[in-house]
Structure 1
Amino acid sequence: MKSLHIVLFLLLLLFPFTYKTIAQLQQDNLVRDHNGKPLEVTGKYFIVATKVVMGLSRKLTLSIYLEGNCRNAVTLAQAFQPGIPCSFHHAKATGDSYIHILKSLNVKFETDTPSCANSTVWRISDPDDKTHERVVRIGGVLGSPGCSTSRNWFKIMTGDSPNTYKIVSHPKDVCASPGAAIFHNLRLNFHPFKRPLVRSDDLNGFEVYFVEA
């Protein structure tokens, strides 16, 4: 009986430590803005490049790029443009109010939908005829996780500095096909007067931080 009391006493001592450790892990897994505040599902945020590109803003916008007159490509804004804020949406409704590292999500520009697009949800496009790059464009589907929507899903991973991140394409948790298991960074492509965001196999991804709109 005395041994049982000792075991119970030790468990009571360890419980707060265990609970604190789990809570700490959950906190460490949160994506945070540049002030250290966790990103919320209901929030709107500017995605801001950590590096300056001469003549351009560090925020993202929509531009015409290689596809007629459709303003549907995700690019760096011009220096005089304010940029467009984004919202982030979980693959599955869990009731969780926050955005987590390396969890699949939709990225949605919070702006009016151009007449040439079905939505402002980001998607990975087919390779274009000129550069053969897969440009990040709008027109994706919000929700409906699965292989048919695998190009609409992105993840946020930690960057090289505190509260900096990289947005990547790796829809393995929403699609079981072999192609979905391949990890792809996003990077800015070189183009005169435009810097479109493209899917890439480069090791150096597009590093950003988030600013509440």
Structure 2
Amino acid sequence: MSATALLLAFFLVFSTKSSLFGGVANAAPVLDIDGNEVLTGVEYYAVSIIRGAGGGGLALDEFGFGRCPLAVLQRTLDTDRGNPLTFWPVNNESVVSLSTDLNIEFVPAFSAWCRSSNTWRLDNYDPSSGKWWVTTGATKGEPGANTLTNWFRIENVSGNVYKFSFCPSVCESCISLCNDVGIYNDEDPELGKRRRLALSPQPWRFQLIKTSRVIKQVA
């Protein structure tokens, strides 16, 4: 059996279906850094809880020289909050809850560079790196087998510290990957090292900062 097949055998599991709408009934709300509930469609920065070498927030790969889809990466400076994100739960609730399938979208929602959406999706397995990278270009909404790779979750680590995971339950009959999302150094021949998001047994831990809070502080 090839290394790729072994990896697939390790990761491919039947997702635990906690509800028809990809979430846990009566799940606790996700909280921002101020302890307020995270709201659907409102802009937030996701920033590392580790200062210094831990890096900053999340952003699109803006320097891809026409290569699509765009990668989701972490800024190297902890003072750089990256690009704003919005969250869109599959159950259309106004508050984002833990362990609920949701679309994650960069602002702006559309990339003129790639002529596609800035909504996250799990890309195909990359045998050269041995990773399942997080990229963009997904369709927002439309839960089901055709959009299985577009749904992520926010899980609690402690307090208002969180991690992203990928374990979609929007298709009860589908087989899907289940793992956390972490940060890996990807060595690009043109761009050098970049901190990219990919499935990982070691999750990236973050907090959410409402963008309007940052604007008020600057003003």
Q: Which has the higher contact order (CA 8 A, sep 6+)?
A: 2
Q: CA deviation at 1:125?
A: 0.1
Contact kept, 8 Å, 1:92 with 1:143, in 2: the verdict is no
For each residue in 1:70-110, what CA deviation from the matched residue of structure 2 results, as whole angstroms up to 9, or x when unmatched? 471000114275510100002133xx310001111000001
Partner of 2:5: none
Once superposed, what is the RMSD of the aligned Cα atoms? 2.5
Helix, strand or coil at the partner of 1:120: strand
Match of 1:163 in 2: 160
Contact kept, 8 Å, 1:136 with 1:197, in 2: the verdict is yes
TM-score by length of 1: 0.75
The residue matched to 1:189 in structure 2 has which SS?
strand
Measure the CA separation in 2 of the matches of 1:168 and 1:118: 23
2:96 alignment partner, one of 87, 90, 99: 99
Structure 1 distance, partners of 2:57, 2:175, is: 30
Counterparts in 2 of 1:70 and 1:148: CA distance versus 1, 3 Å: closer
Structure with bigger gyration radius: 1
Secondary structure at 1:134's aligned position in 2?
A: strand
* Larger relative helix fraction: 1
- AA aligned to 2:175 is G
2:62 & 2:175 partners in 1: Cα distance? 29
Structure 1 unaligned regions, length at least 5: 1-24
- Contact 1:105/1:153, CA 8 A, preserved across alignment: yes
Match of 1:14 in 2: none
TM-score of the aligned structures, taking structure 2 as reference length: 0.74
The partner residue of 1:179 within 175, 178, 187 is: 175
Distance 1:97 1:68 in 2: 36
Give the ranges of 4+ consecutive aligned residues of structure 1 lying more than 3 Å apart after TM superposition: 64-71
Deviation (angstroms), 1:150 = 0.7
Q: Is the Cα contact below 8 Å between 2:69 and 2:135 reproduced in 1?
A: no
Amino acid corresponding to residue 145 of structure 1 in structure 2:
P
- The answer for the alignment partner of 1:34 in structure 2 is 33
How far apart are the structure 2 equivalents of 1:140 and 1:69? 16
Unaligned runs of 5+ in 2: 1-24, 188-192, 212-219
Secondary structure in 1 matching 2:185: coil
Residue 212 of structure 1 corresponds to which residue in structure 2? Answer: 210
Contact 2:46–2:85 under 8 Å retained in 1: yes
Tell me by how many angstroms 1:46 deviates: 0.4
* SS at structure 2 position matched to 1:98: coil
Contact 1:65–1:71 under 8 Å retained in 2: no
What is the alpha-carbon distance in structure 2 between the residues aligned to residue 189 and residue 136 of structure 1?
11
* 1:49 aligned residue: 48
Asked whether the 8 Å contact 1:102–1:157 carries over to 2, the reply is: yes
Give the paired residue count.
180
Are 1:75 and 2:73 an aligned pair? yes
Higher strand share: 2
State yes or no: 1:196 paired with 2:196: yes
TM-superposed CA distance for 1:117, in Å, is 4.5
Query: Identity over aligned residues, as a percent?
Result: 24
Amino acid at match of 1:194: R
